[in-house]
């Protein structure tokens, strides 16, 4: 396997992952609208595929390194970070190789296992980690007489078998009646790679097309090429060609001779044969001649052609996401939130930058890095405010070398709010700043209310789809058809009678009358609690409670 072979495998794995992203999203343990594992894994894989889309280099180590880097920068959510670390380990295994035989591929996969486990402070079995590890271990047993088809087939068998056992390893999966979503994503990636080796279609008759980065027509400015224009750059033409017995002797087909026939017709040629499918990328002013040439050998499975004048003129100036602090300072703060009100609250508390993100909308590693650049401080404190963003924040901190980045382990908006209350940037040491925030965070409790997406029974709480559920720290506490009643019940479950301070952030869907009713309820039933109600503007959670 060389670099271009690896490139095509990644495209095929990404294509099938993307096709089934919604199914993966739906494998959500908690019955709330936060299922985004499929989207996060797609973002990660797409980052790798797009990074190598235009590469013609056949060196495995060169292609692998760039793909791994692309995945790291685009990793979102815990599943995305772990997936990026799988491919980081694979890249380590390929780091000295221009080509790899099967034993070298197996070694790289085992490096992927090691790297993924190291990326998690406390690895949990029954997750994506287990599925990938057991898949590699299973396939290795059959490697002695395996080719690409057989090996990826055994890799897939091992992954599927492991996936089915995940509920036996994690009680939360068994209780929810689902398998691990990240593990399911790995299964689809491997299955897509196996389909590629077999020369089969991943996207029905459109194999791999979704994995080929392109500019959708609705994003292109067609005015750049008018009736008065003259073609300057030609056409970018890509296709998959199925060799057919009716047109050629498949056993005698020579890909190098096929490429020689393309050379007089265009440039930037990339062409590879897998099974009986030829994949071609070529730039030319006369794509019709290329298509006619290809038709001598078989029939098209997919075809894509783009006017490169539109591509070359797409020089839109992309404004940076954040305004950079010109003068470097000692301390800076980056946090994550969604909703106009919550964003403003964190800015008022002293955050330099609030990254837009949260439940179902996870920022990438690169989003954090861009924020760090803009803050321009010697030491930066970052609060992810979501358990599914914490690994990404850690990954960005490890990657960023221009500043010392301290990740405050805030796993909820409430954690972040309480931590920021104790923000003291006059302290001489960054460690002291972190310690004060973590100390206050430990004294707070966060409660969340949102609608249920399906029926379930969790923590002995009977949940009905479209009811409103209240929970804290992934512990389901109450369910009620009425939003306000769910909020009232949650306050009681959180032990508000033993607290002194309550902040309630209202979501977008909470109406003015409900806010008034809620505030009257708190004033009547908990007169000794200091209460603040604020417009959070968040979309997923109707109420976010912070109790101290």
Q: What gap in Å lies between CA 192 and CA 242, rounded to an integer? A: 18
**pLDDT tens readout for residues 461-495:** 899 999 999 999 878 999 999 999 999 999 999 98
- Residue 309's Cβ-count burial label (10 Å; 0-12, 13-18, 19+) is middle
Instruction: For residue 548, give every residue at least 6 positions away whose Cβ sits within 8 Å of its Cβ, in sequence order, or none.
Output: 418, 443, 444, 445, 499, 500, 501
pLDDT of residue 203: 53
Pairing of strands 530-535, 501-506: parallel
DSSP sequence for 442-471: TT-EEEEEEE-SS-EEETTEEE-TTSEEEE
Pairing of strands 501-506, 543-547: antiparallel
The SS3 of residue 192 is helix
Q: What gap in Å lies between CA 30 and CA 38, rounded to an integer? A: 15
The SS3 of residue 355 is strand
Architecture in CATH of 3-203:
Alpha Horseshoe (1.25)
Domain 446-547 has CATH 3.30.1180: yes
The SS3 of residue 121 is coil
pLDDT of residue 293: 95
**pLDDT tens readout for residues 303-344:** 888 887 665 444 333 456 788 888 999 999 999 998 899 999
- Residue 544 near residue 504, CB atoms below 8 Å: yes
Tokens representing 233? 């750059």
Please tell me the CATH code under which domain 329-441 is placed: 3.40.50.510
Per residue of the chain (548 residues), give pLDDT as tens. 999 999 999 999 999 999 999 899 888 777 777 668 999 999 999 999 999 988 888 999 999 999 999 999 999 989 999 999 999 999 999 999 999 999 999 999 999 999 999 988 889 999 999 999 999 999 999 988 888 889 999 999 999 999 999 999 988 888 778 899 999 999 999 999 998 888 876 654 343 333 333 333 344 566 667 788 888 778 888 888 999 999 999 999 998 899 999 999 988 787 777 678 888 888 889 999 999 999 999 999 888 888 876 654 443 334 567 888 889 999 999 999 988 999 999 999 999 999 998 766 789 999 999 999 999 999 999 999 988 899 999 999 999 999 999 999 999 889 999 999 889 999 999 999 999 999 988 888 999 999 998 888 888 889 999 999 999 987 899 999 999 999 999 999 998 888 899 999 999 999 999 999 999 999 999 999 999 999 999 888 999 999 98
> pTM to 2 decimals?
0.75
- Residue 252 near residue 276, CB atoms below 8 Å: no
Give 54's Cβ-side CA count (13 Å radius): 5
Domain boundaries, the chain: 3-203, 230-312, 329-441, 446-547
- Residue 538 near residue 505, CB atoms below 8 Å: yes
CATH class for the domain made up of 230-312:
alpha beta
Give 295's Cβ-side CA count (13 Å radius): 7
pLDDT of residue 213: 38
């Amino acid at each position: 396997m060389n670099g271009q072979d690896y490139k095509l495998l990644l495209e095929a794995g990404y294509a099938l992952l993307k096709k089934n992203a919604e199914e993966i999203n739906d494998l959500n343990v908690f019955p709330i609208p936060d299922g985004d594992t499929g989207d996060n894994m797609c973002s990660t894989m797409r980052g790798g595929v797009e990074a190598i889309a235009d590469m013609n280099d056949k060196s495995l180590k060169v292609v692998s390194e760039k793909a791994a880097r692309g995945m790291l920068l685009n990793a979102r959510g815990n599943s995305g970070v772990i997936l990026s670390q799988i491919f980081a380990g694979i890249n380590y295994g390929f780091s000295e190789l221009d080509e790899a035989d099967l034993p070298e591929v197996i070694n790289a996969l085992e490096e992927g296992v090691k790297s993924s486990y190291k990326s998690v402070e406390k690895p949990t079995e029954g997750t994506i980690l287990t599925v990938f590890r057991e898949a590699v271990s299973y396939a290795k047993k059959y490697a002695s007489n395996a080719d690409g088809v057989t090996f990826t087939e055994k890799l897939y068998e091992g992954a599927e078998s492991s996936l089915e056992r995940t509920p036996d390893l994690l009680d939360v999966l068994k209780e929810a009646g689902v398998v691990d979503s990240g593990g399911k994503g790995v299964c689809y990636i491997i299955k897509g790679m196996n389909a590629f080796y077999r020369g089969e279609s991943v996207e029905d008759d459109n194999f791999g097309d979704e994995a080929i980065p392109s500019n959708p027509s609705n994003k292109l400015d067609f005015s750049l090429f008018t009736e008065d224009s003259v073609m300057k750059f030609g056409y970018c033409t890509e296709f998959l060609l199925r060799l057919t017995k009716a047109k050629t002797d498949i056993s005698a087909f020579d890909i190098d001779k096929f490429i020689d026939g393309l050379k007089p017709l265009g440039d930037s040629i990339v062409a590879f044969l897998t099974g009986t499918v030829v994949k071609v990328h070529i730039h030319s002013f006369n794509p019709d001649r290329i298509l006619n040439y290809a038709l001598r050998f078989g029939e098209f499975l997919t075809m894509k052609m783009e006017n490169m004048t539109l591509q070359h003129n797409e020089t839109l100036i992309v404004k940076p996401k954040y305004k950079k602090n010109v003068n470097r300072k000692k301390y800076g703060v980056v946090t994550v939130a969604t909703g106009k009100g919550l964003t403003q609250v964190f800015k008022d508390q002293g955050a330099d930058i609030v990254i837009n993100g949260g439940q179902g909308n996870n920022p990438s590693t690169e989003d954090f890095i861009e924020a760090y650049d803009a803050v321009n401080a010697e030491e930066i404190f970052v609060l992810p405010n979501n358990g599914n963003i914490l690994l990404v924040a850690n990954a960005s901190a490890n990657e960023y070398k221009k500043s010392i980045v301290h990740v405050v382990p805030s796993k909820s908006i409430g954690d972040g709010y309480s931590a920021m209350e104790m923000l003291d940037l006059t302290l001489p040491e960054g460690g002291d700043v972190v310690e004060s925030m973590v100390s206050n965070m430990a004294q707070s409790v966060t409660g969340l209310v949102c609608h249920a997406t399906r029926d379930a029974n969790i923590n002995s709480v009977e949940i009905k789809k479209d009811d409103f559920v209240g929970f804290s720290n992934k512990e389901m506490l109450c369910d009620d058809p009425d939003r306000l009643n769910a909020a009232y019940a949650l306050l009681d479950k959180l032990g508000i009678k033993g607290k002194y301070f309550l902040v309630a952030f209202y979501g977008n869907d909470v109406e003015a009358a409900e806010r008034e009713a809620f505030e009257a309820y708190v004033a009547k039933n908990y007169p000794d609690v200091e209460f603040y109600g604020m417009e959070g503007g968040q979309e997923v959670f109707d109420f976010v409670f912070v109790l101290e």
